[in-house]
Amino acid sequence: MNETSRPAQQVTIKDIAKKAGVSIATVSRVVNGKYLHKINPGTQAKVRRIIEEYKYEPSVSAVNLSKSRLRTIGMVFRPHGFKEFSTYFDEMIRGILSKVVEKNFNLMLLPLKMEHDVNFQKMVRSKTVSGLLLFWTHIDDLLIPTVMEENIPFVVLSNYSRALTYPYVDSANMQGASDAVDYLVRKGHARIGFISGSDDSRNAQDRFEGYKLGLKKNGLPFQQELYYRGSFLESEGARAMEYFLGLKERPTAVFSAGDIMAFGAIRYLKEKGLRVPDDIAVLGFDDSPLAESFDPQLSTIHQSVFDIGSNAADMLIKQIEGKGTPLKIIVDTKLVVRRSA
Amino acid sequence: MNETSRPAQQVTIKDIAKKAGVSIATVSRVVNGKYLHKINPGTQAKVRRIIEEYKYEPSVSAVNLSKSRLRTIGMVFRPHGFKEFSTYFDEMIRGILSKVVEKNFNLMLLPLKMEHDVNFQKMVRSKTVSGLLLFWTHIDDLLIPTVMEENIPFVVLSNYSRALTYPYVDSANMQGASDAVDYLVRKGHARIGFISGSDDSRNAQDRFEGYKLGLKKNGLPFQQELYYRGSFLESEGARAMEYFLGLKERPTAVFSAGDIMAFGAIRYLKEKGLRVPDDIAVLGFDDSPLAESFDPQLSTIHQSVFDIGSNAADMLIKQIEGKGTPLKIIVDTKLVVRRSA
DNA sequence: CTGAAAGCGCTTACAG
DNA sequence: CTGAAAGCGCTTACAG
């Protein structure tokens, strides 16, 4: 009959009140630290002691119900959309969590099941979450209006719409891609191939825009034959390189919209006995954890997915708490020069 | 004043009852599908229509409160414990989610803050979660007793204790490592180096045991000088290889307790101008997504982290629902032969 | 400084 | 077949 054998989670405000010889109202007040100045210090101490002894924690369901206020945010994403983005998703979660924990919120994962699943709608209406983080790796304006109808705070990560206006956080994709071209040109390249990501990815589109902008800034023309439409897959990188090598006039450098495709491109080059960067330079985008241990070490555009996550969580929590926030936050990218270019 | 402008989440059971001209008890009954046989079909239809029209979803807080039953499970982990395991964590989440979604549960992420944080305790006592998935990359018997005291269903992933008895799911680490040695011996190797993971990882210990078992089964002696104590980091793999190359008699093959360290080991070999597998064969453990595109493609022991996740979630949910479950589930590993060994 | 009581949105015996 | 009412564990004006 020792202390720990009692099922701890059964302790309620009533138990504490009884043990302390006060009303539940008083317990509630000390728990919430409200009107504390008008509560007898002795009473406070006694209640606190009992709470400590029983390790009492108010039931969230009850608190939520009576306050109509939550501290849980949901993250909506496509479970199959990030297969090739493992570390990406991971870093993002880490970033979100850092803020969520700091602000004493909770994070609930809400995977989208099908193309037009409205799982999150249920979570919203049932008051399971008080705000949404939307992470889709592709443009999906179809779902956003549904979310908007719910009249709930939300922030979109790493994507945005040209048609709709809503809060989002993204990397400086265009700037980063433009910087990539700048660098390559400085290194003497004039024939720069581009491997794009999937068309339905806003990030991919922006990087493509950045590539074109970079060319233009450096007085180079955009040439259709130096553009390869990829899809962020490793195999696509290899295929792209196969295509470039087949050109009558090969590019001397290739800029890939994603590290993974750059890996594939380099793999293909090595298989063909070509050397990187001597024969062809390859520059990636992402700075994934493996860029550094790849052979050769990958030069790339670093983007801080962690910061995207933490900024988005910060924006969302501020919205939930009724504070003002900027409509968008763009996280800087940075060129990281290693061996491949 | 169109339909969609009304803040949807405000709809309560009372509203539905009023619109349908019935009592809230009746609404509750049709929502829960209970005692349906004794409810007038016409009434049912009417209520259902209204619910549909207003897209009513019962408040989880209210339901939880009155039913004292939840459908949320929490995943406890060390946010900094998986930095080098990104895809690992990712696959695990994917596996968990597959089951969680199927069973109509929710997943809440509960990162441990400090060494002995009892964050999860709060979640349990406040009834935020009805069960816990414990994922620690190292042995931490200190926390498990705390969880056990809470008297809540839980399952440990990819780790277990020799002292305590509790439900867990893990890969067949020992078997896998033993298979690795078998394969290397079949390929003619008799001097097989081993790079271990961190000492405080149960996985690492088991793989080490498996390595020794494999040697013994093949009549080879365990030699201390062929053992290098690593820590699952890429740099450790390189350092291990540096050590092995410094031996008077080098190993002809090296088995690494993790792919990442194998990558580091191979990188070092390449830097020294040695060839894999010709000069030294290297075999990994994990079959991480990059094993395939590494140069050379990494031969390794595949483990299905996805299955660890889904099995653990399945066990946990069964526990929560009061169904019987096995005390442990061991997920098979499999040798994957590629180029490096 | 403190308590009684209404109310948050549901569920579920208990009556009828 | 259906409703009135108690109860789940809290919060918060309202009194005193």
Calpha distance A287→A297 (Å, rounded) = 11
A63-81 pLDDT, tens per residue?
Answer: 988 887 788 999 998 876 5
Residue closest to D12, CA→C1'?
A25
pLDDT tens per residue across span B282-340 = 999 999 877 887 888 999 999 999 999 999 999 999 999 888 889 999 999 999 999 99
The pLDDT score that the predictor gives to residue B137 is 65
Say whether residue B125 is in contact with chain A using an 8 A CB cutoff.
Answer: yes
Q: Are A289 and A298 in contact (CB under 8 A)?
A: no
Confidence grade of residue A85 (pLDDT, cut at 50, 70, 90): low
Look at A142 and B272; give whichever has higher pLDDT: B272
How many percent of chain B have pLDDT more than 90? 53
Q: Say which residue the tokens 């269903």 belong to.
A: B153
B21 CA to C16 C1' distance (Å): 19
What span, in angstroms and rounded, lies between the C-alpha atoms of A249 and A189?
A: 13
A272 in reach of chain B (CB within 8 A): no
C1'-nearest nucleotide to the CA of B29: C11
B97-134: pLDDT as tens digits: 999 988 889 999 988 876 566 678 888 888 889 999 99
The enclosing H or E element of B99 equals helix B86-102
A69 CA to C9 C1' distance (Å): 14
As a whole number of angstroms, the distance between CA B32 and CA B138 comes to 43
Q: Are B124 and B118 in contact (CB under 8 A)?
A: no
Nearest CA in chain A to B263: A293
Residues of A in contact with B82 (CB under 8 A): 90
Taking the C-alpha atoms of residue B215 and residue B139, their distance in angstroms, rounded to an integer, is: 26
Decide: helix, strand or coil at residue B146. Answer: helix
Q: Is residue A4 over pLDDT 90?
A: no
Distance CA B200, CA B169 (A): 18
Would you give the distance in Å from CA A290 to the centre of its chain? 19
pTM of the model: 0.86
Min mean pLDDT across A18-27, A71-80, A83-92 is at A83-92
Q: Which of strand C's nucleotides are less than 7 A from any protein C-beta?
A: 1-5, 7-13
The residues in A 16-75 lying below 8 A from B, measured between CB atoms, are: 55-62, 64-65, 72
Q: Write out the two tokens for A171.
A: 């990397």
pLDDT in tens, A129-155: 999 999 876 666 678 888 888 888 999
Distance, angstroms, CA B62 to C1' D9?
10
Whether omega before B277 lies within 30 degrees of 0, making that bond cis, reads yes
Of the listed ranges A241-245, B233-237, B322-326, the least confidently predicted one is B322-326
| Dist. CA A160–CA A260, nearest whole Å | 23
- The minimum CA-CA distance between B295 and chain A, rounded to whole Å, is 7
Q: Which of B9, B58, B97 sits opposite A109 (nearest CB)?
A: B97
Region A289-312 average pLDDT = 91
Q: Is B121 on the interface with A (CB under 8 A)?
A: yes
